[in-house]
A = this chain, B = another copy of it.
Amino acid sequence: MATLVVPDSVPTPLEDAGKIRKAVQEFSFTLNLYSGLGTDEKALISVLGHRNAVQRKLIRQAYEEHYKENLIKRLETELSGHFEKAMYRWMPDPVERDALFAHLALKGQNYKVIAEIACELPPDALLAVKRAYQSCYKTSLEEDVASHTSGDIRKILVGLVGTYRYDGNEVNPNVASSEAKILQDAIGGKHFNHEEVIRIVSTRSKAQLNATFNRYKDVHGASLTKKLLGDPSDEFLAILRTTVRCITDPIKYFEKVVRHALTKAGTDEDALTRVIVRHAEKDLKEIKELYYKRNSVTLAKSVAKETSGDYEAFLLTLLEGH
């Protein structure tokens, strides 16, 4: 479930656009006098941190129509730091946002994020992201992934973003059995990058993969992810782990991503922003609950401890609704 809180009675898109205009203009006019006061950011958060994707789109349209400028570009000019990045990622439609995350991941060579997006989303949602990617960047996600990468990383990522997985619940127990054996033979021998491992995880349906992974666990007494631990600098292995985790239990995976982002020396704001912004409108509540269960402290408290200023205020608004 979502954590985003939208008030019962919402102003019209044009009224919201007016408040935002006031906030960004005041900010500009007062910049020389009271630089850094941050009052305008609060106004922005109080509006945009409480509107869902459809409402934000209508606000963007009303703003552009009325003030003859692109709201996202204006915000980019006016804001800065992690708060600007978070707002820039919050504003687009979910599919355009994921296209943006995929594009940024390629630019920053943060390839795990590509696996995260490709494996977490249902097949038709991934397809919608690929369409948005083409419309934004005039190239396909597949060709950009393929031309930025090479070797095993290319093989697995092109498979993951390319396959339009079957989305039905039918499972073939013979395939589960035979492919659990193939995985065991390859992974037992530490051949993580075996052609067959890549084929299985990148093309089989999620229902089939869960059956295969369960079969693996039944026979070998340990989950597949436990067997995928190894050299932390092995990027292919990290992508493979992300793939398996996002397919078997995405909530557990994303809890781990925020936990690592918050506990590592020097907070990983990019990962923290990504999880909160991408999930606030869908399943951040489940991620929060698991976080509390796992860490005996609320996610909000951890976020408040590791972040500050408008960035903190914005993340807490998305997380807690206030």
Contact = CB atoms under 8 A, between A and B. Distances in A.
Interface in A110-132: 127, 130-131
A168 B203 CA distance: 27
Interface string A121-159: 000000100110010001111110011001100110011
Interface residues of A, number: 32
Interface in A201-244: 202-205
B134 A203 contact: no
Contact of A205 (B143, B147, B168, B195): B143
B139 A205 contact: yes
B134 A166 contact: yes
Contacts of A159: 158, 162
Interface of A is mostly: helix
* Residue of A138, A147, A163 most packed against chain B (CB within 10 A): A163
A297 B155 CA distance: 47
A199 interface: yes
Contacts of A139: 166, 205
A165 interface: yes
Nearest to A169: B138
A164 interface: yes
Closest 3 CB pairs of A and B: A162-B162, A143-B203, A140-B166
